[in-house]
Structure 1
């Protein structure tokens, strides 16, 4: 890895911290959390092990920093992309696509594993950012219901259906690339939208549902 250079001490510290986070993310994706040490992270980043400890006290603190950084980046990117479309059903498609890409690109341990290696205070920090992401999805679903594009349903139930579909699809998506992957993602998008009761015209545009039924009435 090339030597990290910057025009000021503050920029140098930021560059070094970012290099550590990137190194940790690469290793987390390729080998997982089990057995991963600060020495591995430092060597992969091309810096001394002591330097890593200048930024992060232990692996738990590094894991939290990485997760928060990744989640914040994703939320910012998501909000930028959502602002480009108006219809909430189309926004749901944006959410699903970006989530699949993000879940396939990085490899954060599942919630129970995170809880087992983090202090309650650190785990609570992660929960705040996860809550932000959940709030974005909840607002999309709420708007879709209020505008008549989705049937009446509990927002929490709908959100669980969305994330359940994403979780089951991600592992298969990691094995694909190119046109096959793109087609798979679009299949998942359509599956989620129609599974929540969305309806479309012949041109594939979302249309309001007549009569404002509940989701279980459509499903039956």
Structure 2
């Protein structure tokens, strides 16, 4: 009988999932996703190769659970950062700064590496997480447009351009990126 890590089975499962996510992130940081095996993930997570199947049936299910976990964490922290903020300019600045800060602890860059190796169904699931993040910035843009402080002709294109801007390297400071994004939506 495997040893339970935690006081309850629920706590054990959460701990194992966290260990698997951390191992997965470390392994795909070193080499491409398609070169990482489920056995390597299990070993790096400190769980047996057979025990990992109690939590994840395959490597794609790890990716999907990992993406859901990262999206949930991102949105929870964004909601906290935006709590009580009514000014759309301040909100968009917070969004940009939050995105850049979270990029250091989350794995936003993993998406493009998965495009050719995940099944079509899994890519649809990954895209759902992207849309959740887009929904947050979409709400801020609409709020600013309604208040007359943002000039946006095409919201979808603006969101894509904002996120492209946020893919900059660490040399660009959050304040400079926020100022650039705000100028792009007509804030001078």
TM-score normalised by the chain length of structure 2: 0.87
Pair 36,30 (structure 1): closer, same or farther in 2 beyond 3 Å: same
Aligned to 1:24: 24
Unaligned ranges ≥5, structure 2: none
C-alpha distance in structure 2 between counterparts of 1:152 and 1:106, whole Å: 29
How far is 1:141 from its partner?
0.4
Cα deviation 1:13-49 (Å, max 9, x = unaligned): 2221221112212322344424111222122212211
- 2:185 is the counterpart of 1:196: yes
Single out whichever of 150-159 and 136-145 deviates more from structure 2.
150-159
Aligned to 2:58: 58
Aligned to 1:131: 131
Cα deviation 1:43-81 (Å, max 9, x = unaligned): 221221111122112211111111111011111111121
C-alpha distance in structure 2 between counterparts of 1:13 and 1:155, whole Å: 40
Single out whichever of 24-33 and 190-199 deviates more from structure 2.
24-33
- 2:110 is the counterpart of 1:109: yes
Single out whichever of 33-42 and 91-100 deviates more from structure 2.
33-42
How far is 1:105 from its partner?
2.8
Aligned to 2:39: 39
Pair 102,30 (structure 1): closer, same or farther in 2 beyond 3 Å: farther
The 3-state SS of whatever aligns with 2:35 is coil
Pair 82,44 (structure 1): closer, same or farther in 2 beyond 3 Å: same
Please report the RMSD computed on the Cα atoms of aligned residues, expressed in angstroms. 2.0
TM-score normalised by the chain length of structure 1: 0.76
How many residue pairs end up in the alignment? 185
Give the structure with higher Rg (CA): 1
C-alpha distance in structure 1 between counterparts of 2:5 and 2:111, whole Å: 35
C-alpha distance in structure 1 between counterparts of 2:111 and 2:13, whole Å: 30
